[in-house]
Amino acid sequence: MTDTQAPAQPGTGDMAGLSRRSLLRAGLLTGGAAAGAGLVSRSALAGDPLITEVQDWNRYLGDSVQAAPYGKPSEFEAHVVRRDVEWLTASPESSVNFTPLHELDGIITPNGLCFERHHGGVAQINPADHRLMIHGLVDKPLVFTMEDLKRFPRENRVYFLECAANSGMEWRGAQLNGCQYTHGMIHCVVYTGVPLKYLLNEAGVKTSGKWLLAEGADASAMTRSIPMEKALDDCLVAFKMNGEALRPEQGYPVRLVVPGWEGNMWVKWLRRLEVGDQPWEQREETSKYTDLLANGKARRFTWVMDVKSVITSPSPQAPVAHGKGPLVISGVAWSGNGTVQRVDVSIDGGRNWKTARIDGPSLSKAMHRFYLDIDWDGSPLLLQSRAMDEQGFVQPTKNELRLARGDNSIYHNNGIQTWHVKADGTVENVEVA
């Protein structure tokens, strides 16, 4: 196996590794029909009909500008959709689906593909009917309309939102075959919203106010306790994502943004903020989102999402179809502690590592895109990625996590993922030792 970044030399006799363009070029250079025996059946004279014949889209008019007031992806991208795993939950209204990470690139998740996690279905709320209340240990309990919220100074920030249970089904070993399923409880968008501190300041938090309870307006009335330091630091009350209004499934008309912290705390359909002097110990911070350890104790208030990464292509849903030669290894990395400083990639199951290239913006508590361009010789690979964040935390192996926590933590699995790329280009989720 080689992993140089030099331009590839097409392997002789390996038709699958040659692009049509390089075939044609080879044919022209060697005199067309006089090309080598391996190329006779595809002589330059038998040109590609997609080029030599006029195509419909080249002859007839396409759709008008009135055809799609709100555009959709090409019909040829119909497979790029959120998917669920039915057996995971008892009810599809308190359930989760998964972002198709294996089909995406860059760092921004399209709104229609952002994974969903609801506990009482998607609330449908007319923004004119929505109210946000602040009360408790404040000088002035207040009620805001959406119009009020949009008069505060606002900010635009890119953040990842990762479900605490992302990769949770993999604690006991390789189970789901695809990064959409093993890592797809995450999305990353640019949020537009009001710093939470402006709203709290408007009500006047008393000095005894140390905790904030955030509550949603949906049928689960989702609640979480948030320490006041975080609430006053970088939390946003957001009403837009990627430039447009929040999608209903993401909390329309308004949600809480809690950068770097587990997705459960990003309360959707946000309607109430109560200031108190102690945490409330709600269902979602006692029964759920507490992390059982092997000794029977359970961690509570495990808020931060640790440094993590995954190779999105090749992956089980994105096999290598082009044969030997140049291969783009692409993936995402993120950390609740800040920016990702570096991502290393291994093609031999973690024995040797090469530092990948982070491309695009490196923003705090946001997704980062990394690439490693290799020349694949067709040998089986054991692909891994290992992220390091700006605080120096290094993504651990799954076995290191299990050694520290056991198999029953459910949440916060940031262990290194391994993909087995086979000689035929198919890819499988495996564990290695």
Partner 1 sequence: MSKSPKLLALTLGITLTLPFAAVAAGSADTAKTFGLGRPAEADEIAAWDIDVRPDGTGLPEGSGTVAEGEVLFTDNCATCHGDFGEGAGRWPVLAGGQDTLKEDRPEKTIGSYWPYLSTVYDYVRRAMPYGNARSLSDDEVYALTAYLLYLNDVVTDEEFKLSKENFTGIHLPNEANFIADDRMAEAHNANKGDPCMTNCMAEPARITMHARVLDVTPGAGDDETSGGSVD
Edge-first strand listing for the sheet containing 354-355: 354-355, 340-346, 381-389, 418-421
Cβ atoms within 10 Å of 226's Cβ, excluding its own: 23
Interacting residues with partner 1 between 79 and 98 (CB under 8 A):
83-91, 93-96
**Alpha-carbon distance 243 to 30, whole Å?**
53
Interacting residues with partner 1 between 172 and 231 (CB under 8 A):
172-178, 181, 197-198, 201-204, 213, 215, 219-221, 223
Position among 125, 388, 402, 421 found at the interface with partner 1 (CB under 8 A): 388
Q: Is residue 124 close enough to count as binding partner 1 by CB under 8 A?
A: no
Residue 162 Cβ, how far from partner 1 at the closest point, in Å?
A: 13
**Alpha-carbon distance 394 to 384, whole Å?**
14
List the x/- string, 272-311, binding to partner 1 by CB under 8 A. x-x-x-x-xxxx--xx--x-x-xxxxxxxxxxx-x-----
Cβ 39 vs Cβ 23: under 8 Å: yes
Residue 33 Cβ, how far from partner 1 at the closest point, in Å?
A: 45
Residue 234 Cβ, how far from partner 1 at the closest point, in Å?
A: 13
Residue 194 Cβ, how far from partner 1 at the closest point, in Å?
A: 10
Q: Omega into 253 within 30° of 0, i.e. cis?
A: yes
Position among 352, 357, 379, 424 found at the interface with partner 1 (CB under 8 A): 352
Residue 46 Cβ, how far from partner 1 at the closest point, in Å?
A: 38
Residue 354, beta-bridge partner list: 345
Helices (H), 215-282: 228-233
- The smaller minimum CB distance to partner 1, of residues 80 and 410, is found at 410
- The smaller minimum CB distance to partner 1, of residues 19 and 408, is found at 408
Q: Is residue 2 close enough to count as binding partner 1 by CB under 8 A?
A: no
List the x/- string, 137-166, binding to partner 1 by CB under 8 A. ---xxxxx---x--xxx---------x-x-
- The smaller minimum CB distance to partner 1, of residues 190 and 432, is found at 432
Cβ atoms within 10 Å of 332's Cβ, excluding its own: 28
DSSP state of 219: T
Q: Using a CB cutoff of 8 Å and minimum separation of 24, what contacts does 328-331 make?
A: 328/371, 328/373, 329/356, 329/371, 329/372, 329/373, 329/374, 329/383, 330/105, 330/369, 330/370, 330/371, 331/356, 331/369, 331/370, 331/371, 331/385
Cβ atoms within 10 Å of 57's Cβ, excluding its own: 8
Residue 293 Cβ, how far from partner 1 at the closest point, in Å?
A: 8
Cβ atoms within 10 Å of 21's Cβ, excluding its own: 9
List the x/- string, 14-53, binding to partner 1 by CB under 8 A. ----------------------------------------
Residue 145 Cβ, how far from partner 1 at the closest point, in Å?
A: 8
Residue 324 Cβ, how far from partner 1 at the closest point, in Å?
A: 21
